[in-house]
Amino acid sequence: MKTSKKSNSPAYLSIVTAITASVCCITPLLAILAGSSGLVTTFSWIEPFRPYLVALTIGILGLAWYLKLKPKTQAEIDCACDKEAKPSFWQSKNFLFIVTVFAGLMLTFPSYSNIFYSQPSKDIVYVSQSNIIKHTFEVKGMTCAGCEAHVESEVSNLDGILSVKASYENANTVVEYEKTKVDLVAIREAINKTGYKVIDTENKEEK
C-alpha cells in the first residue's frame, strides 16, 4: 500500500498558520534587512487574530501527531503490501518533529524577538536636572515586544537620550532626554523611521 502524499498535509498547514501568527513581529526584521520601513506595519491587522491562529496551529499539530502515531487498524494491516515502500523523509516522524519545533519557535517569536535589536552602550554622564525632559509619544502600529525593542533601539541611537521605554499595550513611548543635545522633532523622526507612527506629540512635558 503506497503512503498517501496527503498524510502530512496538517504538518505543512501548521507551518503556514505558525508563520502567519507571528508575521506582524517578523515583518519589522525583514523591513530592516530590506531597508524599507514601510513594510513594518503591513501585517499589523493580523495581531487581533493571533490567539486564534496560535490555537489553530496547536490543534493542527496535535492532529498531525495523532495521524502519525495512531496504530493501524486490522483492515489496514490486512491490506498492506508485502513490499510496502519505506516512507520518505517528508512523511517521517523526524520531519514532523522538525515542523513542530519550527512552529514552536514561530509561535513564541514575539517573546524573544527583542534580541535581534541592538541597544547601543552609552557612557555614564551627569546631566543637570534642569536639562532633563520627559515626554510621552503616542505611537500607532506596535503589536508586540519586538515592536517595542525596534522603537527603543532606534531612539537610543540618538545622542542625548537618557532612557526610552516603548509599550505596545499602552500604544506609547516614554523618553527622557537632555534638551541641550536632542529635541522632540528628532525623536519623533526616529520613531517614525521605524515604520510606526507618532500620532500625538503634544503631551505634557515633565521636568
Q: Strand ranges (DSSP E) for 34-155?
A: 132-140
CATH 3.30.70.100 is right for the domain spanning 117-200: yes
| 40-79 residue pLDDT tens | 677 777 888 888 999 999 999 999 999 888 887 766 666 6
* Residue 151: Cβ within 10 Å count: 29
Average model confidence (pLDDT) across the chain: 82
How many angstroms separate the Cα of 35 from the Cα of each of 30, 141, 148, 153?
Answer: 8, 18, 18, 15
Question: Where do you find CATH 3.30.70.100 in the chain?
Answer: 117-200
Pick 6 or 42 by higher pLDDT. Answer: 42
Residue 105 — pLDDT band, cuts 50, 70, 90? Answer: very high
Instruction: Look at 180 and 120; give whichever has higher pLDDT.
Output: 180
- 162 grid coordinates: 537618557
C-alpha cell at 1: 500500500
Which of the two residues, 61 and 146, has the higher pLDDT score?
Answer: 61
Identify the pLDDT of residue 204.
Answer: 45
pTM (predicted TM-score): 0.69
